[in-house]
């Protein structure tokens, strides 16, 4: 058994817990929309064709904000195809995912779904094949109350009230050569700046996200952010980060330490944004919109099938998540919380079926993947302020991230309620870790909850026929004595503790 210490003190605060950390993403991709959140005729569908079982799971997961409609999809999308009488909506080729888009689901359906799910909508505009004009049109259609052609059209389409969408992404991953309308950083930066400037003429309070890099391994990473912000700094609020992790060639040690890369990614983007601020002699701070993050077994994804086939809602990217994936997702949330002073929005990609915590079958059931659990528990327990955590941990050598701590942690503290939450990860596959948590500066008196995800079989998954094979387990080792807590973290595990100052 290894040993580690974790010290928390309410004097050292990072920032208030930002509810937008617990975002998700719905793209017109595979079965995320069709037979995911939307399936008219399904036994659990409501009057709008929305799956109530998936809505229930979305609420249970504690999702706060949902990005829509893409992703790569948005770079060829015509938003107006998805509004108005369904029978008149065109079927189109979706080049991004080699599918047929029926457009049965569009902006107003999404806004209705978001209301029912209790989430804030976050819209992306197409800056791949389109530009300023169409971004203004969709903004006017969505947000202008009434009295103009587009706002009246929305009202005729059965949405009398403006959708009041505050968060807008200015395109998607335009640094990527796979993106329809791929651009250089200067080309994109100019377009983002002009689109943002014009959108603010409609509503100066919008929160606008410029595209950052599609991953920190892009050859243009760093330069892209600097050049885009050089053009668009004054006009945008946030710059996006996208990151997907997977176990490569059996290298579990590196995979379990994926959050080290996320920390590095956020730190590099923040440094770049602040460098541009310094050059512009500005005190403005650009936030990070980590609007795509997850575990994704990208190496398993190959475009297959007959190029003549353009299927509707095909099974794409339906990754089945295991125990190790859930531990990594829990650790990525630790990283996002730790960086709450700069991470303004974060969206796990995606919500249903497509690299998703929620799975559903057409005409069948919906269930929680392993990765559902750390997200739901963190969203429920992270309250108040994020605290800086002092960790003394044994370390290990990894091939992708160098030497890394085996224990990672973050804590939150809600003074008013007297609640302390601590989220801990043991990245060792060989050893349990005995953790001593020194919380004397807060003085918790009771352990309200101690649960975690771990298991002898790191590759165990939840399936339609066995949906609860991997569920959170109570951690019975936890002891609390005079503000000092001891707990044993199982091998390769994620653990959440809720302590209270009430007796």
Residues noted as catalytic = 173, 292
**H/E run at residue 191:** helix 185-202
Q: In sequence order, which residues have a C-beta less than 8 Å from that of residue 248 and are 6 or more positions away?
A: 254, 255, 299, 400
Three-state secondary structure string covering 354-377? CCCCEEECCCCCEEECCCHHHHHH
CA max distance for the chain: 69
Please state the φ and ψ torsions of residue 366, each to the nearest 5 degrees.
-125, 145
Pair of tokens at residue 206: 């919008």
20 touches 345 (CB < 8 A):
yes
At its nearest, how many Å lie between ligand AHR and the CB of residue 301?
A: 9
Q: In sequence order, which residues have a C-beta less than 8 Å from that of residue 387 and are 6 or more positions away?
A: 8, 9, 10, 12, 13, 14, 410, 411, 412, 413
106 touches 82 (CB < 8 A):
yes
Query: What is the distance between the alpha carbons of residues 503 and 158, in angstroms, rounded to a whole number?
Result: 53
Q: Which regions of 196-286 does DSSP assign to beta strands (E)?
A: 207-210, 238-245
125 touches 135 (CB < 8 A):
yes
Query: What DSSP state is assigned to residue 353?
Result: S
378 touches 368 (CB < 8 A):
no
Pair of tokens at residue 319: 């990754």
Query: What is the distance between the alpha carbons of residues 254 and 402, in angstroms, rounded to a whole number?
Result: 9
Query: What is the distance between the alpha carbons of residues 30 and 72, in angstroms, rounded to a whole number?
Result: 12
Task: Considering the complex, state which of residue 139 and residue 241 has its C-beta at the smaller distance from ligand AHR.
Answer: 241
Q: For residues 424, 54, 102 and 309, what is the CA-based torsion angle, rounded to 10 degrees?
A: 60
Query: What is the distance between the alpha carbons of residues 182 and 120, in angstroms, rounded to a whole number?
Result: 28
Residues in contact with ligand AHR by CB under 6 A are 27, 29, 70-72, 172-173, 214, 292, 349-350
Alpha-carbon distances of 277 from 185, 197, 206, 245, 271, rounded to whole Å: 18, 18, 21, 30, 10
Pair of tokens at residue 179: 């993106």
Task: Considering the complex, state which of residue 208 and residue 496 has its C-beta at the smaller distance from ligand AHR.
Answer: 208
């Amino acid at each position: 058994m290894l040993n580690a210490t974790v010290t928390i003190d309410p004097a050292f605060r990072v920032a208030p817990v930002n509810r937008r950390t617990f975002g998700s993403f719905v793209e017109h991709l595979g079965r995320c929309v069709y037979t995911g959140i939307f399936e008219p005729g399904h036994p659990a569908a409501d009057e709008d064709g929305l799956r109530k079982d998936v809505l229930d799971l979305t609420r249970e997961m504690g999702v706060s904000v949902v990005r829509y409609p893409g992703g790569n999809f948005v770079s060829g999308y015509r938003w107006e195809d998805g509004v108005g009488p369904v029978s008149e909506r065109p079927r189109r080729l979706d080049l991004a995912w080699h599918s047929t888009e029926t457009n049965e689901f569009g902006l107003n359906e999404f806004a209705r779904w978001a209301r029912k799910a209790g989430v804030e909508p976050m819209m992306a505009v197409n800056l791949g094949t389109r530009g300023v004009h169409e971004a203004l049109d969709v903004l006017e259609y969505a947000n202008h109350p009434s009295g103009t052609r587009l706002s009246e059209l929305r009202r005729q389409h059965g949405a009398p009230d403006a959708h009041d969408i505050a968060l807008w992404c200015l395109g998607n991953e335009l640094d990527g050569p796979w993106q329809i309308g791929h651009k250089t950083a200067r080309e994109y930066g100019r377009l983002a700046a002009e689109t943002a400037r014009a959108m603010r003429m409609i509503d100066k309070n919008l929160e606008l996200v410029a595209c950052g890099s599609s991953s920190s391994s892009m050859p243009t990473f760093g330069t892209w952010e600097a050049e885009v912000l050089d053009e668009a700094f004054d006009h945008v609020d946030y710059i996006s980060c996208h990151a997907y992790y997977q176990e490569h060639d059996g290298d579990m040690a590196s995979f379990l330490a994926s959050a080290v890369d996320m920390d590095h990614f956020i730190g590099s983007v923040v440094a770049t944004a602040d460098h541009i601020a310094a050059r512009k002699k500005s005190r403005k701070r650009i936030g990070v919109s980590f609007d795509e993050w997850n575990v994704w077994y990208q190496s398993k994804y190959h475009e297959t099938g007959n190029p003549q086939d353009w299927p509707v809602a095909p099974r794409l990217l339906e990754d089945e998540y295991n125990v190790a994936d859930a531990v990594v997702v829990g650790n990525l949330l630790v990283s996002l919380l730790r960086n709450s002073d700069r991470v303004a929005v974060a969206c796990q990609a995606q919500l249903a079926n497509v690299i998703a915590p929620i799975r559903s079958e057409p005409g069948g059931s919906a269930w929680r993947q392993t990765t559902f659990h750390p997200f739901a528990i963190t969203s429920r327990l992270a309250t108040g302020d994020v605290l800086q955590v002092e960790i003394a941990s044994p370390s290990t050598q990894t091939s992708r991230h160098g030497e890394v701590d085996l224990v990672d942690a973050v804590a939150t503290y809600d003074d008013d309620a007297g609640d302390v939450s601590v989220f801990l990860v043991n990245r060792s596959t060989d050893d349990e870790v005995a953790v001593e948590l020194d919380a004397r500066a807060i003085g918790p008196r009771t352990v309200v909850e101690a649960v975690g995800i771990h298991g002898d079989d790191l590759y165990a998954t939840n399936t339609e026929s066995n949906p609860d094979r991997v569920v959170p387990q109570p951690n019975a080792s936890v002891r609390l004595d005079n503000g000092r807590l001891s707990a044993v973290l199982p091998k390769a595990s994620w653990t959440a503790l809720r302590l209270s100052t009430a007796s």
